[in-house]
């Protein structure tokens, strides 16, 4: 039997992940009382069942039962049960926003602010996160992207690293993305906005890409940035970082930043050891404002 313990922060997407794993052929049990964990394993081993793949949802709803999780892990090891821990996480700001959107109360807030409940929850789940085989930060993930990550791990059995890298283009006049880890300013490059026939195009168009990349400084910049990112990523992975947002900005987030974000994405795409995606936050805002 393949056993996966699904855990993590409330609001990080555990219920969604459990539904996805059910579609992948897992027998899913959410909020199993921890004192029953070893009894469930004994039952599965003692009787002939069709439960070849099992996902158990365990989180702070177990209350004081979480204190027993260390002992239960030892029981699993002694019984030679192969298990893995999937931990879903998200930034506090994202979790607070999700709670406010759904108008739900945090299980540990007890009438206090949501942030207080999140602090308590992180403390209570720290042991599970330390022993997690897979940590997925859903702060920037769409539902389909979460599904792709789970399929990568549990369907295709691909090697998985916990770091997920987002390359994000943006316009400084719309503000620096608040979740940025690395911010690069490419406003030193000539702006296609002022070139006849190029204003309406974007960095996704070949004409803009050729214009921006014709300058020697653009090539030097992307070479140096790629070299720095290749140096940083293994060190981030070693330190346990699970989310890296690389933001590249120009004035409006339409031409130069989009071109160089695309170029960096193409250079990093296909490399092993981390997930990768690209977003262009402000690429259409000038058009929407009629500028």
Task: Round to whole Å and give the CA distance between 211 and 215.
Answer: 8
Same domain, 52 and 102: yes
What pLDDT does 280 receive?
96
Instruction: Examine residue 174 and state whether it is found in any structural domain, yes or no.
Output: yes
Same domain, 108 and 15: yes
What pLDDT does 159 receive?
61
Task: Round to whole Å and give the CA distance between 75 and 25.
Answer: 26
What pLDDT does 272 receive?
74
What pLDDT does 208 receive?
96
Same domain, 48 and 113: yes
What pLDDT does 113 receive?
78
Region 254-266 average pLDDT: 97
Task: Round to whole Å and give the CA distance between 20 and 268.
Answer: 28
pLDDT tens digit string along 27-58?
899 888 888 887 777 776 666 556 778 899 98
What pLDDT does 66 receive?
76
Task: Round to whole Å and give the CA distance between 166 and 278.
Answer: 6
Tokens of 74: 């030892």
Same domain, 146 and 23: yes
Region 102-109 average pLDDT: 73
Eight-class DSSP state of 7? E
Task: Round to whole Å and give the CA distance between 27 and 22.
Answer: 6
- Boundary (domain end) residue, out of 129, 154, 179: 154
Q: Report helix, strand or coil for 202.
A: coil
Domain of 129, in residue numbers: 2-154
Read off the CATH number of the domain in which 128 is found: 3.40.50.300
Same domain, 7 and 133: yes
Region 144-172 average pLDDT: 84
pLDDT tens digit string along 108-151?
776 777 888 888 888 888 888 888 888 999 988 889 889 988 98
Helix intervals (H) in the chain = 14-23, 37-46, 69-78, 92-102, 114-124, 126-130, 143-154, 206-213, 216-238, 256-268, 285-288
Q: Report helix, strand or coil for 200.
A: coil
Task: Round to whole Å and give the CA distance between 205 and 31.
Answer: 49
Same domain, 194 and 218: yes
Which DSSP helix (H) or strand (E) runs through 276?
Answer: strand 275-280
Strand partners, 67: none
CB 203 within 8 A of CB 261: yes
Tokens of 191: 């702006």
Which DSSP helix (H) or strand (E) runs through 168?
Answer: strand 164-171
Residue 274: CB atoms within 10 Å: 19
User: Does pLDDT of 202 surpass 50?
Assistant: yes
Q: What is the pTM of this model?
A: 0.66
Strand order across the beta sheet in which 134-137 lies: 27-30, 53-57, 2-8, 83-89, 134-137
- Provide the number of structural domains found in the chain: 2
Task: Round to whole Å and give the CA distance between 8 and 108.
Answer: 14
> Which pLDDT band, with edges at 50, 70 and 90, does 228 fall under?
very high
Same domain, 14 and 42: yes
User: Does pLDDT of 247 surpass 50?
Assistant: yes
User: For the chain, what is the mean pLDDT?
Assistant: 86
> Which pLDDT band, with edges at 50, 70 and 90, does 260 fall under?
very high
> Which pLDDT band, with edges at 50, 70 and 90, does 178 fall under?
confident
Same domain, 17 and 146: yes
Same domain, 63 and 123: yes
End-to-end CA distance of the chain: 60
Eight-class DSSP state of 191? P
User: Does pLDDT of 1 surpass 80?
Assistant: no
Region 76-88 average pLDDT: 82
**89 HSE (CA, 13 A, CB side):** 24
Instruction: Examine residue 159 and state whether it is found in any structural domain, yes or no.
Output: no
């Amino acid at each position: 039997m393949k056993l996966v313990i699904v855990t993590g922060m409330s609001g990080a997407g555990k219920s969604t992940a459990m539904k996805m794993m059910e579609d992948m052929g897992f027998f899913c049990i959410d909020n199993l009382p921890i004192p029953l964990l070893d009894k469930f394993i004994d039952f599965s081993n003692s009787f002939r069942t069709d439960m070849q793949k099992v996902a158990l949802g365990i989180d702070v709803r177990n209350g004081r039962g979480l204190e027993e999780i260390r002992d239960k892990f030892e029981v699993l090891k002694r019984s030679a049960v192969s298990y893995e821990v999937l931990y879903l996480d998200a930034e506090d700001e994202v979790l607070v926003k999700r709670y406010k959107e759904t108008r739900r109360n945090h299980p540990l807030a007890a009438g206090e602010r949501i942030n207080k409940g999140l602090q308590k929850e992180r403390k209570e789940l720290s042991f599970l996160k330390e022993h997690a085989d897979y940590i997925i930060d859903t702060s920037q993930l769409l539902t389909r992207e979460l599904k792709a990550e789970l399929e990568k791990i549990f369907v295709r059995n691909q090697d998985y690293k916990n770091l997920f890298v987002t390359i994000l283009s943006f316009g400084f006049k719309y503000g620096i993305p608040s979740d940025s880890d690395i911010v690069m300013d490419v406003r030193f490059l000539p702006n296609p906005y002022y070139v006849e026939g190029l204003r309406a195009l974007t960095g996704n168009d070949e004409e803009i890409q050729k214009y921006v990349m014709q300058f020697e400084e653009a090539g030097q910049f992307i070479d140096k940035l790629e070299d720095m990112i290749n140096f940083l990523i293994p060190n981030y992975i070693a330190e346990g970082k699970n989310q890296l947002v690389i933001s590249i900005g120009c004035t409006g987030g339409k031409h130069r930043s989009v071109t160089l974000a695309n170029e960096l994405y193409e250079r990093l795409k296909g490399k092993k050891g981390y997930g990768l995606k690209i977003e262009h936050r402000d690429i259409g805002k000038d058009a929407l404002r009629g500028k």
